[in-house]
C-alpha cells in the first residue's frame, strides 16, 4: 500500500474563535469540529493530516517553512493575513509545495479589502464561501493535484 500523502493544514489568526466569532458570517462550527471532519476525510482519502493554528504571523511562517521535506502539500486558511502578509506568501512559495487556499466565507461578497489575496497567486487553487465544506473541497482538490489529476 502506498504511503499516505502528508498534508499540513494551517489555520490563521482568529480561527480559534470559530463557533462563537461572528456566527452569521463564519457559522457555528468550531475549529475542532472542522479538524475532526477534515481528519476523517483525509483518512478516507489515504492522507495524513497535521493541523496548526496560530494568531501569530511569525509562528505561522516558521511552521510553513518546516513543512518543506515534511509534507507533500499545504491547505491553508490564512484568515486576515490573506490580505496583508507578504511574508506568509513568501514562506508558502519558498517551500516549493503545492498550496490550496481556503476561506469559510465568500470573501468576494464581503468588504472590498477582502477581495485581495496575497496568497492566491502562489496557490494551485482557491475555495471560498462553502463554510466548513471549503476545507474538505480544498483537501480534495489538493490531493487530486498531488495525484496528477487536472
pLDDT at 1 over 60: no
Task: Check 11, 26, 83, 145 and give the catalytic one.
Answer: 26
How many other β-carbons are positioned within 10 Å of the β-carbon of residue 139?
24
- According to the model, what pLDDT value does residue 115 have? 67
Tell me how far apart the alpha carbons of residues 73 and 120 are, in angstroms, rounded to a whole number: 15
63 assigned to some structural domain: yes
pLDDT tens sequence across 38-59: 999 999 999 999 999 999 999 9
pLDDT tens sequence across 59-72: 999 999 999 999 99
DSSP string, 72-95: SEEEEE-GGGGGT-HHHHHHHHHH
Mean pLDDT score of the chain: 91
Domain with 110 in it: what CATH number?
Answer: 3.40.50.9100
What is the mean pLDDT of the segment spanning 94-115? 84
Better-predicted residue by pLDDT, 22 or 56:
56
How many other β-carbons are positioned within 10 Å of the β-carbon of residue 103?
26
103 catalytic per annotation: yes
47 assigned to some structural domain: yes
2 assigned to some structural domain: no
64 assigned to some structural domain: yes
1 assigned to some structural domain: no
Domain that holds residue 102: 7-146
- According to the model, what pLDDT value does residue 5 have? 93
Domain tally for the chain? 1
pLDDT at 98 over 80: yes
142 assigned to some structural domain: yes
76 assigned to some structural domain: yes
Task: Check 56, 103, 135, 145 and give the catalytic one.
Answer: 103
CA angle 69, 63, 52 (to 5 degrees): 110
15 assigned to some structural domain: yes
Better-predicted residue by pLDDT, 75 or 2:
75
Taking only Cα atoms into account, the Rg of the chain, rounded to an integer number of angstroms, comes to 14
Amino acid at each position: 500500500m502506498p504511503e499516505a500523502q502528508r498534508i499540513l493544514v494551517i489555520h490563521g489568526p482568529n480561527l480559534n474563535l470559530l463557533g462563537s466569532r461572528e456566527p452569521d458570517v463564519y457559522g457555528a462550527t468550531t475549529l475542532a469540529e472542522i479538524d475532526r471532519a477534515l481528519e476523517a476525510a483525509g483518512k478516507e482519502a489515504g492522507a495524513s493530516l497535521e493541523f496548526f493554528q496560530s494568531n501569530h504571523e511569525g509562528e505561522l511562517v516558521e511552521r510553513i517553512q518546516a513543512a518543506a521535506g515534511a509534507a507533500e502539500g499545504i491547505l491553508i486558511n490564512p484568515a486576515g493575513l490573506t490580505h496583508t502578509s507578504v511574508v506568509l506568501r513568501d514562506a508558502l512559495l519558498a517551500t516549493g509545495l503545492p498550496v490550496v487556499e481556503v476561506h469559510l466565507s465568500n470573501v468576494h461578497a464581503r468588504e472590498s479589502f477582502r477581495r485581495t489575496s496575497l496568497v492566491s497567486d502562489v496557490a494551485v487553487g482557491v475555495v471560498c464561501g462553502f463554510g466548513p465544506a471549503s476545507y474538505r473541497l480544498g483537501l480534495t482538490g489538493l490531493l487530486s493535484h498531488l495525484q496528477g489529476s487536472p
